Structures are given as C-alpha cells and as structure tokens.
C-alpha cells in the first residue's frame, strides 16, 4: 500500500493573491474515495497586490461566496491531515492562509496498481471545481456550507484548462433545481459526469418566473428602459395608497433586480488554475414549459411583462399587492400565444448568439385522472382541464422544435417510464427523475456538439 499526497496545485490570477480559508471536509476520515470524488472544500478570496489591474475587481458581485471543491484523482482510503482544518471562522473566512501549490491537505491510501497511469510519483494534485454565488443582497450572509445562502445565480466551473469551453444555463422553475444543483454537494453530479472544462449556471425562480415572454423582454431591454422601470417602481410603491412595509421593499427589490438582469446574455469571470478567463454567453440554456401560465401580467404604461408564482405574491407585502392591482393588467394567453412568445424568443436569441435552446416539456398524463367523459366540460378543453392543456403545450413544443431547432428535454416521457410517483404533482420530481433528466440534457448537449460536456474518461 502507498500513501498518495493530496496537493492543492496551482491556482493563480495575475495581480492577485489567492487567499483561502481552512479546509472543510465533505468526507470522513477513512472514507473509501472514488476517482474524481469531491472530498473537501474551502472559501477563496482574491486579494489585490500592487500589480493589480486598474478598474473593477473580477467577479465583484460574487466575491464573498467564492469557493473551491477539492476532488481526488485517485481512489482509495482517505486520510485527512491533522492541520488542514481548525474549525470556527478560520474555516469560513478566506483571510489567513495564502494558497500554496505544494500544500498537502491529506493522503489517499491505495495499491500501486490502482494508481492511474501518468500520475506524478512525487505527489497528486487535486482536481478543482470552483463555485460562486451572486447574492440577492450582500447582507444575506450564510457561509455555513458549500454554496449556501440566498443567491439569484449560482455556478460551477472546472478549474483545469485555460477556460471553460462550454457553458450551460438552467433558467426554468423549481423542477430544475435538483437537476442543476443536484444532491449535496452542489454541482457534484455534473462534475462527476463531465470531462470539462465547462461551466454550469443555475438561476432560481425564487421571485421571478422566467416564462418566454419575460425572458424575451430581458434579452432586448435597453439600459434606458431598465432605468425607467426602476424609477417607476420606486415611485409607485413609495407614493401609493398603502404604506410599504419592510417586507414590501425586500420583495420588490429582489423582483426588480431579477427582472432587469438578462441571464441569457450575461458573461462571467472565471478564475482558472493559471489565470483569469471570461466565459461568453451560454452555449445552451434549458427553459421550462411549466413556467408558462395561462395568464401573465403586463405593465399598463411601460408594457413590460411580469410573472411570479401565486404563492409568492400572497406572501408579498400589502403595498406590493396594491402596486400589482393598480399598475398591471392580466393578459390571458392561449397555447398559440405561448408558441408565439417562444418563437419570438428563439428568433431574438438567434440574432445575437449561437445559444442552443432546450425546453423541458410538461407531464401530460398521470395515473390519478378519473375522467370517463369530457362531455360535461366547456370548450376549449384546454381552458378547463390542466391535463388537456399540458398535451396542447407539448404539441406546440414539437412544432417549435421543428421550426426553430429547439431541443425537447422529454420530462413527459421520462415520467411515464419511471412512474407517477417520481413526479406526483407534475412539477416536483424525485432524485431518480432528476438524474434521468440530467442524463437526457447531457445526451442532447453531446448530440449538438457543445464543447466541454463530453463524458469523463473511465479510470
């Protein structure tokens, strides 16, 4: 048996010192590690040196929630170094320890025959999966774990290579949460399945529902239009008939912040092993057909569209509800209208980028339907029965796939194959189904030739 040192390896950005916290372990002493398994993590900070470039610091919006997951390249029994972790705030704050490439955080005990070919006999460099979260507000402080906190965007990228060569964005509703973040630790499922270098980004629907109309507005909105929305909302809430509470201001601030961003056109700074790179706009985005309601809100004067989950609106403060009632009109949307919104979005994206559009369809049947006849229901049935509307939406999506080269992530077929218990309400899925959806997305990305998402070589 031999002990293979787990060395941090190089992580350098010109003009900055990389500073880290103590190591926080994800696996216990003596754990039987798999090749490529994340075993620990630490928080990171880029501290500018005298040679730091002028201008804004890289990824300033995510500076306080920047971490690195550490994965072993060799399988075997984990032995943790006694001084790698000191607990308390020393393991939470990146303040006291400069990143040292030769620092050893532990060892893996394995047989010489189990050591992969090409491994440096003098040490084993850990693989890096870097993650960052952009907080909804900087005062939402939570460093209790790996990528914890209230974020309006979270992402992970592979530290090896010069830069991520492929970026995937998840921009749907809660059915995508487990597909993209996965089980604990966050993004580990993608890291274990994809060779990289790649980046996976997830934007949650905590306050804004990204239906096609809203996303299209985000893509084409100008800076002047964004400023007009911001000023109008502030004035309307502050001068309305209902005195705003702190809950009102918190809700509307998060809502407008999400509305005025455009995740489909955002570019991200990505520190890598040997320098700072920038990932371009996403190479692929996964949207959700379940994000398309039968009606959305449209601002009476400025014309922008808005959609939130009904339960979120009920939780908002009274001034926000009053603002919605005064300043917005409810616009009914047929399946044909939703199809037009998707076509407009696809055309807008194609004008500006090469981003591939993937859409998760919706469950069209379940084992819980008990209708023996549709005769008692008014026409059109899609306005009366959710299951009929779901079938119509899926048919519309098939037309869209042919017309605009959109890929369908077949949520419906996967649910039918696994059984209704894996998607009991048509939206919230089991871990098994999340894994199947993740595999289907990877299958589509590889079929489209999206770089960075090839399967990890077996070792």
Kindly report, residue by residue over 75-93, the tens digit of the pLDDT.
Answer: 999 999 999 998 999 999 9
Q: Residue 422 belongs to what H/E stretch? A: none
Span 148-206, pLDDT tens digits: 999 999 999 999 877 778 999 999 999 999 999 998 899 999 999 999 899 999 999 99
Flag the least confident range among 134-143, 227-236, 374-383.
Answer: 374-383
For residue 260, give both structure tokens: 């005025």
| pTM confidence score | 0.94
| Nearest one of 205, 231, 207, 223 to 299, comparing CA atoms | 231
CB burial string 189-206: b at 16+ within 10 A, e below: bbbbbbebbbbbbbbbbb
pLDDT of residue 375: 61
Range with the largest mean pLDDT of 54-63, 233-242, 357-366, 375-384: 233-242
Neighbouring C-beta atoms of residue 443, cutoff 10 Å = 13
Span 431-456, pLDDT tens digits: 999 999 999 999 999 999 999 999 98
pLDDT of residue 110: 86
- Whether the CB-CB separation of 321 and 304 falls below 8 Å is answered with no
- Whether the CB-CB separation of 174 and 290 falls below 8 Å is answered with no
- Whether the CB-CB separation of 173 and 288 falls below 8 Å is answered with yes
CB burial string 222-254: b at 16+ within 10 A, e below: eeeebeebeebbeebbeebebebeeebbbbbbb
CB burial string 412-441: b at 16+ within 10 A, e below: bbbbbeeeeebbbebeebbeebbbbbbebb
- Whether the CB-CB separation of 268 and 155 falls below 8 Å is answered with yes
For the chain, first and last CA: distance in Å? 19
Span 210-224, pLDDT tens digits: 999 999 999 999 999
pLDDT of residue 184: 83
pLDDT of residue 52: 82
pLDDT of residue 380: 72
pLDDT of residue 457: 82
- Whether the CB-CB separation of 393 and 294 falls below 8 Å is answered with no
pLDDT of residue 156: 97
pLDDT of residue 124: 63
Q: Residue 383 belongs to what H/E stretch? A: none
Write down the number of H helices and E strands in the chain: 11, 22
What is the rounded CA–CA span in Å between residue 421 and residue 157?
33
What is the rounded CA–CA span in Å between residue 72 and residue 25?
13
Confidence band, pLDDT 50/70/90 cuts, at residue 367: low
pLDDT at residue 70 above 60? yes
- Using the 8-state DSSP alphabet, how is residue 390 labeled? H
Q: How far is CA 161 from CA 20, 165, 198, 410, in A?
A: 21, 9, 10, 33
């Amino acid at each position: 048996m031999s002990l293979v040192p787990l060395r941090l390896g190089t992580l350098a950005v010109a003009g900055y010192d990389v500073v880290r916290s103590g190591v926080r372990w994800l696996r216990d002493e003596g754990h039987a590690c798999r090749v490529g398994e994340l075993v620990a993590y630490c928080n990171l900070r880029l501290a500018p040196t005298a040679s730091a470039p002028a201008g804004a610091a890289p990824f300033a919006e995510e500076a306080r929630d920047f971490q690195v997951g550490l994965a072993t390249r060799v399988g075997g029994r984990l032995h943790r170094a006694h001084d790698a972790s000191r607990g308390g705030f020393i393991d939470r704050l990146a303040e006291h320890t400069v990143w040292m490439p030769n620092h050893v955080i532990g060892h893996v005990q394995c047989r010489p025959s189990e050591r992969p070919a090409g491994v440096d006999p003098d040490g084993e460099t850990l693989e890096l999966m870097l993650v960052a979260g952009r907080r909804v507000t900087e005062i939402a402080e939570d460093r209790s774990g790996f990528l914890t906190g209230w974020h309006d965007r979270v992402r992970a990228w592979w530290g090896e290579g010069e830069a991520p060569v492929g970026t995937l964005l998840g921009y749907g509703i809660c059915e995508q949460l487990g597909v993209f973040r996965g089980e604990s630790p966050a993004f580990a499922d993608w890291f274990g399945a994809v060779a990289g270098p790649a980046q996976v980004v997830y934007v949650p629907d905590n306050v804004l529902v990204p239906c096609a109309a809203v996303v299209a507005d985000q893509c084409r909105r100008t800076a002047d239009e964004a400023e007009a929305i911001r000023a109008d909302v502030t004035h309307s809430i502050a001068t309305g008939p209902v005195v705003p509470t702190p809950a009102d201001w918190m809700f509307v601030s998060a809502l407008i912040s999400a509305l005025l961003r455009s995740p489909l056109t955002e570019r991200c700074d990505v520190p890598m092993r040997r320098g700072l790179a920038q990932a371009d706009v996403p190479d692929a985005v996964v949207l959700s057909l379940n994000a398309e309601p039968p009606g959305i809100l449209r601002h009476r004067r400025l014309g922008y569209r808005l959609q939130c989950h009904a339960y979120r609106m009920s939780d908002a403060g009274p001034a926000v509800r009053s603002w919605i009632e005064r300043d917005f009109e409810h616009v009914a949307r047929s399946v044909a209208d939703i199809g037009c919104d998707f076509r407009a979005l696809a055309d807008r994206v194609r004008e500006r980028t090469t981003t591939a559009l993937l859409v998760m369809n919706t469950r069209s049947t379940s084992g819980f339907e008990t209708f023996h006849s549709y005769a008692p229901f008014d026409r059109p049935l899609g306005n009366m029965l959710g299951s009929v509307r779901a079938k119509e939406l899926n048919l519309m999506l098939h037309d869209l796939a042919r017309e605009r080269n959109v890929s369908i992530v077949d949520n419906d077929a996967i649910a039918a194959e696994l059984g209704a218990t894996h998607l009991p309400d048509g939206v919230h899925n089991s871990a098994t189904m999340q894994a199947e959806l993740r595999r289907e997305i990877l299958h589509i990305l590889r079929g489209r030739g999206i770089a960075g998402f090839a399967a990890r070589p077996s070792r």
